[in-house]
Amino acid sequence: MFIYSAKADHSSTMAFEIIDISAYLLSLIVFVIGLSATIIIAYVVDHYLHRRIKAIVEGNPGLATSYSFVRRLLLVIIIMIGVSSATFAAFPALGASIASIFVAAGFASVVIGLAAQSTLSNIFAGMTISIFQPIRIDEAVMFRNEFCFVEDIKLMYSVLRTWDNRRLMVPNSILQNEVVVNYTRTDPTKLTPIIVSVSRESDLNKAMQIMVEAAKRHPDCLPIGDLPKAQVMEISESGVTLRLLSRAKDQPTSFAMARDLLRDIKKEFESNGIEIPYPRRYIIMEPKIKQLTEEVLLKPKPRRQSRKKKEEQDAEVDKKREDMNEQGSAG
């Protein structure tokens, strides 16, 4: 298909240029085919890598973070190469102006870099986290007083799942600069302290024995070394503070075991006569004030008269008053 286009030259004469529409359509078709092939290749590679990484991670879970980052990076590279190849194959004339395009891109990159500093910092932080792995996927961490599990680490942000199933979308630059407590790395087991107070009159040895036996009976308690063991931590004005120290396999198990042990210890204390103290105050008064207080408290209270009797007494008083008034008037 041809289209005639008219244009004027310097001699004010009209010249006609023939434009081949089929060439433009062919270039557009080549570009669309190139993009489609890029998408298909990216999908196939992503599906293959996902299956391979899943099989590898089952044997070594610590590699999940690095392999996920490498998979995403490969997909970005494949898409960039595919789009570039399709563009230059469909529009070869762009090759001549590539130098000017790179110069313009250089100026644009400076402007974009200044305007998107936070975005770039998140991307580089995500790469740093994926390479050096201060945290890994599925690890238990404490972030800003929130107990979380690392669900995913992306280029821009990381996804943390809290204990109550909320999702924290944390920018990677913030996550890199924060102090994060990692409960899983190296040794996932966790010490579980249980603080209980008993009265001064209670048998401390018996109370400590009950606490240790309750921990040994719990299925999640790990008897490592001299654990579990009970210690006297403090003698206060209201009682004696005891601490039971045991160990669990991980942080979630430690939390659940602590709640169970508190319930079991409370039941055992009640059945063995171990008293859990409550606040007490002893008041010492001077003898005069004490005597006055006792007199006030022991003094019998006047009996309250019934309403009918009170009405009769009031009527009797009114009658006497009337009689006195009549005698005064007669005199």
For 229-279, the pLDDT digits (tens) are 999 999 988 889 999 999 999 888 999 999 999 999 999 999 998 988 877
Q: How confident is the model at residue 2 (pLDDT cuts 50, 70, 90)?
A: very low
- Give the residue from 240, 242, 220 showing the smallest Cα distance to 230: 242
**Six token digits for residue 99:** 């130098």
Token pair of 328 as six digits: 């005064």
pLDDT tens for residues 168-226?
999 999 998 989 999 888 888 899 999 999 998 889 999 999 999 999 999 999 988 88
- CATH 3.30.70.100 domain residues, the chain: 190-271
Per-residue CA distances from 158 to 168, 175, 257 (Å)? 8, 8, 30
Query: What's the pLDDT score for residue 300?
Result: 63
The token pair at 107 is 């100026």
What 3-state DSSP class applies to 11? coil
Count of CB atoms situated within 10 Å of the CB of 286: 8
Q: What is the pLDDT of residues 66-102, one digit of tens each?
A: 677 777 778 888 888 888 777 777 777 665 555 566 5
Angle at 70 between CA 67 and CA 72, to 5 degrees: 110
Looking at the chain, the domain(s) classified CATH 2.30.30.60 span 135-182
How is domain 135-182 classified at the CATH fold level? SH3 type barrels. (2.30.30)
Class (C level, CATH) for 190-271:
alpha beta
